[in-house]
Amino acid sequence: MIIKVPWQAWYGDVQKELTFPDDWSVELVTMSDAKAIGTETVDRALINPLGTPPLKELAEKSEKAVIVVEDITRPVPTASLLSNILTQLESGGLESSDMWIIIGLGAHVPMGRQALIKKLGKVVVENYSVYQHQPYENLEYLGKTQRGTPVHINRFYLEADLHIGLGSIIPHPYAGFGGGAKIVAVGVAGMDTIGANHYRALAGEAGGVDCVEGNECRADMEEIARMAGLSFIVNGVVNSRRELTGVFAGDPVQAHRAGVEWARRVYATELPPQVDMVFLNAYPKDTDLMQSINALNAVGFDLGRVLKADGSAVIIAGCPEGLGIHYLSGVGMRGQAAYDRDKDFGGHSVIIYSPNLSYPEVKQRYPPDTLVFNHWREVIEELQRRHGRHASAAVFPCATLQIPSIG
């Protein structure tokens, strides 16, 4: 049996063939999904935003605009959206010299030029000022949130009087979903701000994947963004082919919530009965291993929902950028934390399949008994040894997007 899964977002976006033994019972577990939208739908979203005047009107009252764009670890193809935003701002009287673009890296590694071109488009890279946020320098302190989070924000961002955020609405284990206020509250925040906010989640104050309402981590982000003057967001929801299937623009909370409702429909996945093996493909957050843990989104970070007690979990990840770097939770950083087999994986054993990773890299984050294979054949051989000829399996092709259906 051959099953095809999407592979290496931004670095190919191809279909990869995975071969399974004919004697196995293998189910492809897909999300509800949706068709791609056309340019007219995108235009309407920007011209008729939710809860704010159109960008053109906002530009007419502004002297300088800054657009914070998510980095390449996130899936939305932002180049076309960014071009449209810039056109709207120019129609409101702003010139290219009045518009800055900041890559909202948060605690992620800076992007190289080719990655910037992939995410922003060559025209933008060559004709506009593009800055990459640094969470340790060039910050201004704005005070504390009501939850006590110290708010340090990028000074370049604060120099503008019109603040715009551009990003993805995708499942997130802390904020419920990405997008909205997160692009500023984390994307252009200082490490003390990012750490204080994320520690709330680690302390159990966040609701987890798909939880937005009543989520203290998300509420704290939205207060930070208000303090920092975030005026307008443009957020996209993608389908299984990383195409835009919805665009939501306007007020950072109102537009985000509308996008979340659509995302819940697109990403909804009906979980199968428990199986011997679950295969979680990390696309489209498969650029590096640090991001690929989000493949557990598909099961709500609870492998026991789909795996038998003695079952095996396989995380499939292209990882063209290897292990990846995270300046908060990476090795040697203040929030360093390796995954625990019992706490994070419900006691299940984990296998990592990636042509671009080694065991010394994987062991920095995963339990010591995690197996790492560069060849698919080796994965199958190991699983046959464990589970025999007549085993059951479930394959989640876009696991970082997929969320369990409610009810």
Mean of pLDDT values over 299-307: 96
pLDDT digits (tens, 9 = 90+) for 6-15: 999 999 999 9
For range 319-331, the mean pLDDT: 91
What pLDDT is recorded for position 204?
Answer: 67
Bond from prior residue into 284 cis (ω within 30 degrees of 0): yes
At 137-177, the pLDDT tens digits run 999 999 999 999 999 999 999 999 999 999 999 999 999 99
Q: What is the pLDDT of residues 110-122, one digit of tens each?
A: 999 999 999 999 9
Give the distance from CA 123 to its chain's centroid. Answer: 25
Q: Is 169 helix (H, G, I), strand (E, B) or coil?
A: coil
State whether the Cα torsion 79-119-199-279 is positive or negative.
Answer: positive
What angle is formed at CA 300 by the lines to CA 295 and CA 303, rounded to 5 degrees? 75
pLDDT above 80 for 202? no
Give 3-state DSSP helix, strand, coil % of the chain, rounded to 5. 30, 25, 45
pLDDT of residue 206: 66
Q: What is the pLDDT of residue 286?
A: 97
**pLDDT of 407 strictly over 70:** no
Contacts of 151 (CB under 8 A, 6+ apart): 141, 142, 143, 144, 145, 189, 193, 224, 227, 228
Amino acid at 240: S
Mean per-residue pLDDT for 314-332?
92
Q: Is the dihedral of CA 123, 124, 127, 132 positive or negative?
A: negative
Measured CA to CA, the distance from residue 187 to residue 131 in angstroms comes to: 12
From CA 217, how far away is CA 196, in angstroms rounded? Answer: 10
Beta bridge partners of 371: 351
Q: In this structure, what token pair is assigned to residue 312?
A: 């095996």
Residue 401, pLDDT score: 98
- Is the pLDDT at 266 greater than 80, yes or no? yes
Please compute the mean of the pLDDT values over residues 178-196 and round it to a whole number: 97
Q: What is the pLDDT of residue 73?
A: 96
State residue 331's pLDDT score.
84
What is the rounded CA–CA span in Å between residue 119 and residue 99? Answer: 17
H helical segments located in 186-298: 191-202, 216-227, 254-267, 289-292
Angle at 18 between CA 313 and CA 245, to 5 degrees: 85
What is the per-residue pLDDT across 48-81, written as a single tens digit (0 to 9) for each? Answer: 999 999 999 999 999 999 999 999 999 999 999 9
CATH numbers and ranges of domains, the chain: 2-29+271-404 (3.90.226.30), 39-265 (3.40.50.11440)
Q: How confident is the model at residue 23 (pLDDT cuts 50, 70, 90)?
A: very high
Coil, helix or strand for 331? coil
With bands split at pLDDT 50, 70 and 90, how would you rate the model's confidence at 341?
A: very high
Express each pLDDT in 370-400 by its tens digit.
999 999 999 999 999 999 989 999 999 999 9
pLDDT at residue 195 above 60?
yes
Share of the chain above pLDDT 90, in %: 90
C-alpha to C-alpha distance for 43 and 384, rounded to whole angstroms: 52
Q: What dihedral angle (degrees, nearest 10) is formed by the CA atoms of 371, 376, 381, 383?
A: 60
> What mean pLDDT comes out for the span 332-342?
85
User: Is pLDDT above 70 for 284?
Assistant: yes
Beta partners for 248? Answer: 235
